[in-house]
Structures are given as structure tokens and as C-alpha cells.
Structure 1
């Protein structure tokens, strides 16, 4: 039995895995520039870690100016695109000075650009003109976009036509072709405009749509953009491994209940392992039957309800040599974060982004 001297949930982050996944993007889209999405603290992986690992990217993409400021404060001088654009005139001026390229998706943002073109243009920045091609979240309608493009070009701005897929993870969804056709029609009308429409799933689905820029997100971090294709099958490596240790073992008779709510009753004598990990660390509480952890390569099913600091797993069918102090993998190579997400009726993106700061970060 190993001695436990401290509670030690941890997040292990692999630099080589992140670089491998960027290489995969380059191989899939060799003629396009790559804008690595690092919004939401690099999908929960830590922005400083991601910047250091992704130095070979052409640019970074973030949601808003606050995230771009953080990148500059960390000493990174690479181009940055604000995917939601700016939210007021002062932010437009700051973006111009700090050399942040802006997505423009509404007329008010167009007006700010037209009112203050000089610094933006002096820094050779491009405006990313967002088309609402059918997702109906952000973007200008086709007629509005053509008008804005005419105004901005007349004022001397260089433009990139962009959009976002609503169902890129479902390649045969009928809205995909509608969005593609709308985008291609606008691209043709605007003549010789640069273009970008591919997120992670679209990078795999439509090589003919890679155009000038691709915008990988979840695939960089080694999770799958699909619900029915694993990251491993896509040649992606998990960047994050969430780990902890067994801190106690209980021997429970048949007919005993486990955990809060007494939701699980044992049907046999059970060797129960207690893991120092819970929703206070960011591990999901609302897991369905079938979720498991890995201990020395063996799968140990979760039993009962995940609590704030602890969870219970079934060791009964595992080797008796597994004991207190042994390392436990909550997600990583096996199980993958996508599998745990499926058992939580969500997607891997959410689990990665909602980890708390309690687990220690370890970079290797």
C-alpha cells in the first residue's frame, strides 16, 4: 500500500500532443493559413501553455478583446483575430493600435470601422466580414453584407469573407449545403476576396472549402468534433489527461447503498475504491451508467453519485494489487474526454472548459 501524503488531483498537459495536432491541421490544409483557436483559456488548457506550444501557427483566434489583451501581455506578437469583433468604438481603436483583426457582423461595427480607418489600415489589418449563411447567430444577411463590403472597400479596407457552420459535425445535414452555396455565391459576387469557413469538423469534411484560412479549435486539443468518430481514428492525440489517486478502499456487502442519494445498491460483495476527484475539481456530476476511470490500464466503473470532492469506483473485478495510492485516469487516452462527455449528455468541449483551478497543472 502506498502512503497518501496530500490530495493530488492534477491536469497533465502534453506539449507534443498539441504540436502533433497542429501538424495534422497543416497536413489536411497545406495551402491555407492556420488560425489556432485559443478562446476560453485555450479550451480550458491554459492560454500560456497553448501559446508556447503553438508558436508555429499563423495566427490565434479569440472571442473578445479581453482574451487578446492577455495574449499580448504574455509577450506574444503573432496576429490575433477577434471572432466576436469589438463591442464599442473605444475597443475598435484599441484593436487597431494593438493590431487585432476584427470580425464585423453588424452594421454598427461597420460604422466604427468607417469612422476610424487610418490606424487599422496603416497596420495592414484585414476586416473579417461575417456572413449569416443560415446559422442565425451572428453575421450580416447577404444583401447587408454586399452593401457593407462595398462601403468598406470604398474606404480602402482589405476584407476576408467568413462564416460558421451550424452542423459541420453532421456532414449530410441539409443546412450544410445551403450554407455552402450561400457562402460561395457571395464569394463569387465579391470577386477575389479572401475566405474562411472551416472549423475543426469542416477541415475534415470539405477540403475544397479550406480557402485562405482554416480555424481549428477542438481538434487541436485532441478531442473529436464528431459524436460518432473518435479522436484516435482522426489521428488526434489528447492534450489533457485528468488524473488523481485512490485514497481509500471500502469492502461493502451486497445490498448496501453507495454515495449521496443512495442511488446505487450493490448486488454483490464489492471492493470499492474512493478517488480524490469530484465536481469541485470540474469532473461532471450528472454521469449516466457506463462511465469509468482507468487504473493501471484497467477500467473501473463509477458507482453512485459523484460528490464535490470524491467519487467511487468498482474495483471488484480488477487485480487485487490495485490499492490506495494508485494513479487514476479520469480522462485522457482511455477513457477519452469525449466518452465521459457522452455519459454526461454533453460534448468534450464543455468538460474541458469547465475544469476548476483546483487540480494542479503539470506541463510536459
Structure 2
């Protein structure tokens, strides 16, 4: 009897494989490997180190994420997808080869006004239709002209945009309109362009441009809600596991867990597994959500609590305390689990707390 708590086993070979899949889909483009949000829960420093020979650029959301990569020995350029938000961040970025996404006038004005010890590489964010951040197409000419006048900005500048609906096959026209809008305002005015997130890499080869930005696909997960990564030759990088810590006989008609929300329709055996929302496993996961135990699917029974969840093993189960439980990974795609829960696989892998142990298998 050797039970353990939640463990996320990360295959770095799978991550490397998935980057190669992205590069094969876009053979003429360079690759920005997106390692924001702790590499989507997979461990940013370790993942970046594993990709350092294959990625041309790394991309993160926050300044602190880039600082961590630099302090950990990552030498490639790092793109700050949200840019900088004070002079100290701008000055540090110039000294540490952080590429800066510029998406609002306050950032442009700071570039004009802040003396820097080294020139910075700028990516202008064009709002081609996401309507979240970025300069409107009608502002682009002014922004490019002002940046061209800044001696401490590497010339010419680059431009990027973000797709709002590239993961929706029935909304192809929306993405095509974004592509056309972006190309119209950047043609002949910038050095490099980047449009494609993971969905764009897979679904819009004509938009691969100079750089692609594979994110979720690096971790073996598809951005398309009705598919899974293996459909595109991707390999799941994370096997999220725990173990059985109790097996109990359970009578028909008896409830399990808080609020008695699940009542067994038969005599059965209930397994208690060592995972809960304290580990980042979603509390809203309903009864019927699958897990794998000893190679067979069983389903949640009752509410997920902070440290434990319960599963219906079936009346003839022979599972024992200490047996491993796969929550998602090889053989049970995170995308499928997410569909049962009513969320997306991105949230499953990024929401884990500090309690589950990260283990790297290669």
C-alpha cells in the first residue's frame, strides 16, 4: 500500500516533438515558443531549457516571467506580449534583449521620452479584430512614423496581431478578414510579422508569415474544442496523476460527499482519490467526469472537495489503495476532460496549485 498525492509528469521529449510539428506545419517561419503562465503549467524554466536549441524566440505575458527566464540562464530573445508598464521595466528590457510588444500610446510615449542604454526591438500590436489590446488600423501609420523617429528603437520595427476566432472552423471568414486587415496596414512598413497562435498555425497556413507563436500546441493540446492533440500528431506533455487512498463498499440509494449530490443507483465500490481543488482539479467537475484507473475508465461520483474526490469503481472492482489514477494525459485527453467539466484544457493545465509535484521524465 503506497499511496501518493497529485503528480504532474512532464515529458520534455513530447514538448520538443510538438514544437517540431509546429515548425513542420510552417517550414518557412521562425518559431516563438510561448512559455507564459509557467509554460501553461508545465514549468517555464525547464521547458524553455528543453527548447533552447529549437526555438528562435520565447514569448511570455508578464515582465516578471521574462526576468525569471533570464535569471535562469535562458539566452534567447524574449518577447513581452503585454509590453512594459513603467520606465524601470523598459530600461531593464533594453539591457536584457527583451522584445517589446507595444499596444497603447502610453508605451509609445515612454519609448519617446526614456533614455535607454541599448536599443530595443519593438513589435507593434495591431488590433485587427480581437478588440482587446492594440492600435486600431487607422492609427498604424502614425505609430509606425513615430517609432521610426526614435533612435533607440531597432529599425524597422515588427508587427503582430492576435486572432479572435481561429479555433472556430465555422468562423473562417472572421479570421480571413483579420488577416487581410493586418496585411493591408503593415505591407512594406515593417521588418517581421507574426499572426498565428496555435489555431492559426494549424488552420491558416497562408498566414504563417515570418514568425509563428505556438502556445497550447507545444503541450500536446489542441485549441479546437471538439478535437484533441493526437488528431494533429501532437503528444500530450503532461500526465496528471494521483492515487487511490481508500476503497469502500457502498449501498444502493446512499449518497457520497458534500450535499449528497450523487446517490448510487446500485451496490458498488467507491474509490477515494487524492486530488481536489486544493491541487487545482476543478471543483465544478461533475459526476460522470472520467479518470483512468488500471487502464479502465471510471467516473467521478459526488462533489470534488479540497483534498479528495470520489469515483464509482463498480461492484466488481479489484482496484486497491495505492493504485495510480490518471486524471488526464496519455489515454485520457485533457480536452475530453475539459469538455465534461464545461471548460477548456488550457484552464486545466494552468490552474494547478503549487501542491502537485512536477516530475520530468526525460
- TM class by shorter chain equals over 0.9
Tell me which residue corresponds to 2:27.
30
Tell me which residue corresponds to 1:131.
126
1:304-327 CA-to-partner distances (Å, cap 9, x unmatched) read 111111111111166x43222111
Query: How many Å apart are 1:116 and its aligned residue?
Result: 4.0
Change (3 A) 1:317 1:270: closer
CA distance in 2, matches of 1:217, 1:243: 23
Tell me which residue corresponds to 1:12.
9
Structure 2 unpaired stretches of 5+: none
1:321 corresponds to 2:318: yes
Change (3 A) 1:117 1:163: farther
Query: How many Å apart are 1:103 and its aligned residue?
Result: 0.4
Query: How many Å apart are 1:30 and its aligned residue?
Result: 1.2
1:220 corresponds to 2:218: yes
- Using structure 2 for the length normalisation, give the TM-score: 0.94
Structure 1 unpaired stretches of 5+: none
User: How many residues are treated as equivalent by the alignment?
Assistant: 356
Does the CA contact (< 8 Å) of 1:253 and 1:268 recur in 2? yes
Does the CA contact (< 8 Å) of 1:35 and 1:61 recur in 2? yes
- 1:1-364 equivalence runs, <5 A: 3-4=1-2, 7-55=4-52, 56-116=54-114, 119-121=117-119, 125-156=120-151, 157-173=155-171, 174-188=173-187, 190-191=188-189, 193-316=191-314, 320-364=317-361
CA distance in 2, matches of 1:117, 1:219: 39
Does the CA contact (< 8 Å) of 1:290 and 1:302 recur in 2? yes
Does the CA contact (< 8 Å) of 1:187 and 1:193 recur in 2? no
Query: How many Å apart are 1:214 and its aligned residue?
Result: 0.5
1:199-246 CA-to-partner distances (Å, cap 9, x unmatched) read 000001111111111001000011110001211101111111111111
Aligned partner of residue 351 in structure 1, secondary structure: helix
Change (3 A) 1:117 1:181: farther
Aligned partner of residue 273 in structure 1, secondary structure: strand
CA distance in 2, matches of 1:280, 1:334: 24
Does the CA contact (< 8 Å) of 2:98 and 2:121 recur in 1? no
CA distance in 1, matches of 2:206, 2:342: 33
Does the CA contact (< 8 Å) of 2:286 and 2:303 recur in 1? no
CA RMSD after TM alignment: 1.5
